[in-house]
Every structure is written in C-alpha cells, then in structure tokens.
Amino acid sequence: CEGMEHLESKKLLHRDLAGRNILVSEDTVAKVSDFGLAKVSSTATDNSKLPVKWTAPEALKNKKFSAQSDVWSYGVLLWEIFSYGKQPYPKIVRFSHEVRERVDQGYRMEPPDECPPDVYSIMTSCWEPDKACF
C-alpha cells in the first residue's frame, strides 16, 4: 500500500497491479514492479491489452484510468495474497468477458478461506465505484 501511495504522489498510474508484479526481498519487504503499462497522468487513456480480472470496471468500459482504478486492482491483489496466490474470480474461470459482465452487474468476489473479516472489508471498499483508499 505504501508503494502505491508513493506512485500516486508522483501522479503515476500503475495500471497492472497484481501479485505477479510484486517482488519480495530477502528481508520480506514487498516492492511494486513491472511498469510496462504505467502512465503519468491524473487520467490516462489508451488501448493496451489490459488484465481484465485486475482492472476496474470503469477503466475497462471507458479506457480511462485514475488512482481509483489502481485502488480497485489493489483490492484484487489483497484477494490474491489472502487466497495464497489463487487466480481471481475462481467461480468465473472460462472467459474474461464473463468476469467483466458479472462485475458490471455488481458481482464481487467472496472472501478467501480464512481471510480476516477486516481484510475482506478493505477489499470490498476498494471495489466500490470511485473509491480511493491509498
């Protein structure tokens, strides 16, 4: 979270925050990595191929990104961490467009097994429309 706060303070949108892009040092310090989709802007647009399961619905729909869309991805990252690295949206595994449709209709992932309620509450607050929690 501190890494994402830092990026936001620099007006940098990561746009690909996911477990695969977090490195952990020998002294267990997590570092945000892979800035291949990053943009410098308060709102950025483009047509890059996006990681649907980690991207906020409004970013998928309008191709507009903001700190709030990175917050959505942060909630999915938390879900990945507390599920011990499972693929997000495990009940919708066939096609990315199905994930997109279900999320647009209000679907949100259930908490991972043994996830503390307060952590799941953070996840769901990240998945609220236009929510920023950094």
For the stretch 87-127, pLDDT in tens is 999 988 677 889 999 999 999 999 999 999 999 999 999 99
How confident is the model over 38-49, as pLDDT tens digits?
Answer: 887 655 556 567
Residues 61-71: pLDDT tens digits? 888 888 899 99
Respond yes or no: is residue 46 known to be catalytic: no
Residues in Cβ contact with 60 at an 8 Å cutoff, skipping those fewer than 6 apart: 50, 52, 100
Q: Could you give the residue ranges of the DSSP H alpha helices within 10-127?
A: 57-62, 67-82, 96-104, 117-126
**Are 14 and 42 a contacting pair, CB within 8 Å?**
no
Could you tell me which of 79, 84, 83 has the C-alpha nearest to residue 103? 79
**Token code pair at residue 48:** 């890059």
Which class in CATH covers the domain with range 1-36+50-127? mainly alpha
- The encoded tokens of residue 107 equal 């679907």
Catalytic residue among 16, 27, 34, 113: 16
